[in-house]
Structure formats: C-alpha cells, structure tokens
Amino acid sequence: MIRLTDCLLCLSYFVCASLTAASLSVNMTDTQGVALGDTVVELTPVTASAMPPKAPQHYEMRQENRVFSPFVLAVPQGAKVDFPNLDRTRHHVYSFSPAKQFELKLYVGQAEAPILFDQPGLVAIGCNIHDYMQAFIYVAKSPYFASSDDNGLASITDLPTGEYTITLWHPWQNVQPQPTNIIINESSHTVTLTLDVNRQNKPSSPPSGFGASFNASSHAGQHAK
Ligand SMILES: [Cu+2]
C-alpha cells in the first residue's frame, strides 16, 4: 500500500515542458510510521521516449564479517558490480535468479571480474558455504532510483520535470504495492511513502559452533537471529 501524505503542496498540475532538473526526497516508513531502510524507490517517466543512461559508477556487494553488505543494493541496468570478500573465510557467491544467474567460486579478496547486470529485475544473492548469508540486487530499468538508508531517507536528484510512476520494493514487503504516479516540477519535492512489511532481522553471522544445528532452509537467512 503506497500512501502519499505530504506531497499535496508539491504536486502542481500544470505541465512544465522544461527539462530543468528537480529532486525528490522520500521518507520511507512502514505502516506503523517507523522509518524503513533498504527500500528501493524507482521512478519511471510516464511518457518516456528514451531514458538517458545513468553515469557509470562503481558498485560493490561486499562480504564482511560473514554477511553481505549492503543487504539491498540498487544498480542501473548495465551496471557492473564487484564482490570483494573482506573476510579471511572463503565465500562462494551465487544467484539462481532469472534476471542474473552466476557464481563466484570459493575466493577471498577480489573476485576475478565484476559481474554484469544487464537485465532489469531482482537478483537474490546467496553463499554456498553460509546459508544464512543473503542479499538482494535490484537492477533498475530507469536511471532514476535510490534506496532508503536506515533513517528511511532516499534521495533522487537530477530528475527532469514530468510525470513519473513510483515503484517500491523491499525484501520484507507483504505484497508488491501498486505503482503510484507523481508529477515532478521545478522544485524540491518531499514525500512520505508507506510500505506494508513484515519486519525481520537482517541476516547476521551466527555464533561459532551454531552452524551445525542451523536450519539451512532456503528462508534461513530471513530468520537468522
Ligand atoms: Cu559465505
């Protein structure tokens, strides 16, 4: 469920033909009003003819202290992502997701080459050695996206004026919310968006010796304490 609460002042219904860049600040909350991190906010132009490619940037999904970091990484279609292993333990990173299937066999340090994410969609990342390790890479089709920080804040800058569809995604969402539209004019916009999630603990490494009795089901990572 998406709720636009305080954007009425920001929404102007005159059409602005200029391409002046604007910005959007999003406060993400759950249905209790509590700040929600790790939410991907993607804006897709309603009348998009051609979207400019996002400027090349370096993206990383680290393995550190035997967890993936960040938990949710949003990248543009066509991004290359490095998977450095900062632990002494070897990891074996893989994905079976249709948007990208790959594996980086047991390694420490830098993997041989970055992985190219050329299809939009959601890529669930796991480790063959540590079943609780879990992370997600959201490959955005639009160059206009951000993911919320621990305070629930996401900021999208350099937005051309116009109407956009807002798509939200969170690993713990109960249902895929219906997209909502927003009109961006030449100003700064602030909206509060709400997502219905079933809060869980992020994957964390179990204490030593816990592994033997650990439930290694496919959902283990979501219940790791
Ligand atoms: Cu691992």
Which run of H or of E encompasses 220? helix 220-223
Q: What percentage of the chain reaches a pLDDT higher than 90?
A: 72
CA of 103 to the centre of ligand 1 (A): 12
Structure confidence at residue 145 (pLDDT): 97
> Over the stretch 11-68, which tens digit does the pLDDT of each residue have?
433 434 445 689 999 999 999 999 999 999 999 999 866 688 888 789 999 999 999 9
Residue with tokens 């954007």: 7
CA of 41 to the centre of ligand 1 (A): 28
104-116: b (≥16 Cβ within 10 Å) or e: beebeeebeebbe
Q: What is the mean pLDDT of the chain?
A: 86
> Over the stretch 144-160, which tens digit does the pLDDT of each residue have?
999 999 999 999 999 99
Q: Is the pLDDT of residue 1 over 70?
A: no
CA of 220 to the centre of ligand 1 (A): 14
CA of 125 to the centre of ligand 1 (A): 11
Q: Is the pLDDT of residue 90 over 50?
A: yes
Structure confidence at residue 214 (pLDDT): 46
More confident residue, 208 or 65: 65
CA of 126 to the centre of ligand 1 (A): 8
Q: Is the pLDDT of residue 4 over 80?
A: no
What average pLDDT does the segment 84-104 reach? 97
CA of 90 to the centre of ligand 1 (A): 6
Q: Is the pLDDT of residue 163 over 50?
A: yes
CA of 65 to the centre of ligand 1 (A): 10
Q: Is the pLDDT of residue 187 over 90?
A: no
Q: Is the pLDDT of residue 211 over 70?
A: no
Domains and CATH numbers, the chain: 22-219 (2.60.40.420)
Residue with tokens 């219904």: 13
CA of 217 to the centre of ligand 1 (A): 15
CA of 85 to the centre of ligand 1 (A): 9
CA of 177 to the centre of ligand 1 (A): 32
Structure confidence at residue 208 (pLDDT): 65
CA of 155 to the centre of ligand 1 (A): 32
Q: Is the pLDDT of residue 195 over 50?
A: yes
CA of 107 to the centre of ligand 1 (A): 10
> Over the stretch 100-118, which tens digit does the pLDDT of each residue have?
999 999 999 998 899 999 9
Antiparallel, parallel or unpaired: β 59-60 and 79-82: parallel
